[in-house]
Amino acid sequence: MSVLTTTEEDLVQKAFEDLIDHCTHCDGKTDQKMIRKAFRMANEAHKGMRRKSGEPYILHPIAVAKIVTHEIGLGAKSIICAILHDVVEDTEYTVEDIENHFGKKIASIIDGLTKISDVFDNKSSLQAENFRKMLLTLSDDVRVILIKLADRLHNMRTLQSMPPNKQIKVSGETTYLYAPLAHRLGLYAIKTELEDLSLKYRYPKVYNDLLNMVTDNEKKRGHMINTFALPLIDKLENVGYEFDITGRPKSIYSIWNKMQTKNIPFEEVYDLLAIRIIFDAHPEIPEKTQCWNIYSMITDTYKPKPDRIRDWVSMPKANGYEALHVTVMGPEGKWVEVQIRSHRMDEIAERGFAAHWQYKQAGKGSSAELDRWIKKIRELLDNPDSNALEFLDDFKLNLFASEILVFTPKGQIKSLPKLATTLDFAYEIHTEIGNRAIGAKVNHKLVSLNYTLKSGDQVEILTSDSQRANREWLYYVTTAKAKSAIRTVLKSETKDHIQKGKQIIEEKLKEYNLKPSSRVFKKLFPAYDVRSKDELYSKIGTGIVTLGDLKKILRKNTKNKWIRYWELQFTSSSKNKKPAENKAEKDSYSGSHYMIRENLDDTESEFSIAKCCNPIPGDDVIGYKNQDGSIVIHKIKCPKAIRLMSSQGNRIVPATWTTHKILSYLASIHIQGLDSFGIYNNITTIISKELSVNMRNINLVSHDGVFEGSIDLYVHNTKDLNNLIMNIMKIKGVESVKRVEKIED
Q: Is the pLDDT assigned to residue 684 strictly greater than 50?
A: yes
What pLDDT score does 510 carry?
87
pLDDT at 354 over 90: no
Q: Which residues in the chain are classed under CATH 3.30.70.260? A: 665-739
pLDDT bracket for residue 266 (50, 70, 90): confident
Confidence of residue 646 (pLDDT cuts 50, 70, 90): confident
Determine the average pLDDT of the residues in 623-633.
83
Taking a C-beta distance cutoff of 8 angstroms, is the pair 331, 346 a contact? no
- Going by pLDDT thresholds of 50, 70 and 90, the confidence category of residue 40 is very high
Q: How confident is the model at residue 15 (pLDDT cuts 50, 70, 90)?
A: very high
- How much is the pLDDT for 126? 40
Question: Could you tell me if 410 and 460 are in contact, meaning their C-beta atoms sit under 8 angstroms apart?
Answer: no
Per-residue burial over 220-250, b if 16 or more Cβ lie within 10 Å, else e, is: ebeebbeebbeebeeebeeeebebebebebb
Q: How far apart are CA 25 and CA 347, in angstroms?
A: 15
Q: Can you count the helices (H) and strands (E) in the chain?
A: 32, 19
Distance from C-alpha of 511 to C-alpha of 514, rounded to nearest angstrom:
7
Contact yes or no for 380/485 (Cβ under 8 A) = no
Read off the pLDDT of each residue in 466-474 and give the average, rounded to a whole number. 85
Fold type of domain 665-739:
Alpha-Beta Plaits (3.30.70)
Per-residue pLDDT at 460: 94
Cα–Cα distance, 553 to 509 (Å, whole number): 12
Give me the mean pLDDT over the 659-669 stretch: 78
Strands (E) in 233-358, as ranges, are 243-249, 273-279, 310-311, 324-329, 335-342
What is the pLDDT at residue 152?
92
CA distances from residue 155 to 1, 52, 187, 197, 198 in whole angstroms, order as listed = 21, 11, 17, 10, 11
Domain ranges in the chain with CATH number 1.10.3210.10:
6-187
Active-site annotation holds for 432: no
Q: Which residues contact residue 712 at a Cβ distance below 8 angstroms, ignoring those fewer than 6 apart? A: 666, 667, 668, 695, 696, 697, 698
| Mean pLDDT, rounded, for 9-13 | 91
Q: How confident is the model at residue 560 (pLDDT cuts 50, 70, 90)?
A: very low
Q: Is 89 a catalytic residue?
A: yes
For residues 428 and 481, the answer to whether their CB atoms sit within 8 Å is yes
Spot the catalytic one: 89, 96, 237, 735.
89
CATH T-level topology, domain 212-351: Beta Polymerase; domain 2 (3.30.460)
Note the pLDDT of residue 62: 95
Per residue in 509-524, pLDDT (tens digit) is 888 888 888 888 888 8
- β-pairing, 631-635 vs 694-703, is unpaired
DSSP 3-state of 316: coil
pLDDT in tens, 430-443: 999 999 999 999 98
pLDDT above 60 (res 582):
no
Instruction: Give 608: exposed, middle or buried? Use CB within 10 Å, 0-12, 13-18, 19+.
Output: exposed
> Residue 37: its pLDDT value, please?
93
Confidence band for 471, pLDDT divided at 50, 70 and 90: confident
pLDDT digits (tens, 9 = 90+) for 299-318: 999 999 887 888 989 888 76
Task: Answer with the residue of higher pLDDT: 392 or 82.
Answer: 82
b or e along 487-515 (b: 16 or more beta carbons within 10 Å of the residue's beta carbon)?
bbbbbebbeebbebbbebbeeebeeeeee
From 16-30, 174-188, 338-352, 582-596, the region with the lowest mean pLDDT? 582-596
Quote the mean pLDDT of the chain: 80
Which part of the chain has CATH 3.30.460.10? 212-351
- Plot region of 689 (φ>0 → left; ψ -120 to 50 → alpha; else → beta): alpha
Catalytic-role residue among 90, 209, 371, 403: 90
Question: Please, are residues 174 and 198 in contact by the beta-carbon 8 Å criterion?
Answer: yes
Bridging pattern class, strands 607-609 and 631-635: parallel
Indicate the pLDDT class of residue 388, thresholds 50, 70 and 90.
low
pLDDT at residue 285 above 80?
yes
Backbone dihedral angles phi then psi of residue 386, each to the nearest 5 degrees? -70, 135
**683: CB partners within 8 A, 6+ apart:** 671, 700, 711, 728, 731, 734
> At the top level of CATH, which class does the domain 6-187 belong to?
mainly alpha
Phi, psi dihedrals of residue 652, rounded to the nearest 5°:
-90, 135
CA distance 252 to 200: 9
pLDDT computed for residue 572 by the predictor: 41
For residues 498-504, average pLDDT: 90
User: For residues 68 and 148, what is the distance between their CA atoms, to the nearest angstrom?
Assistant: 10
User: What is the chain's Cα-based Rg?
Assistant: 31
Position 174 pLDDT exceeds 80: yes
Cβ pair 395, 119 in contact under 8 A? no
The Cα angle at residue 50 between residues 46 and 55, in degrees rounded to 5: 120
Q: What is the pLDDT of residue 67?
A: 92
Q: What is the pLDDT of residues 89-107, one digit of tens each?
A: 888 888 899 999 999 989 9
* Helix/strand/coil for 635: strand
Q: Write out pLDDT tens, residues 115-130.
A: 665 444 444 344 455 5
Q: What is the predicted pLDDT for the residue at 662?
A: 67
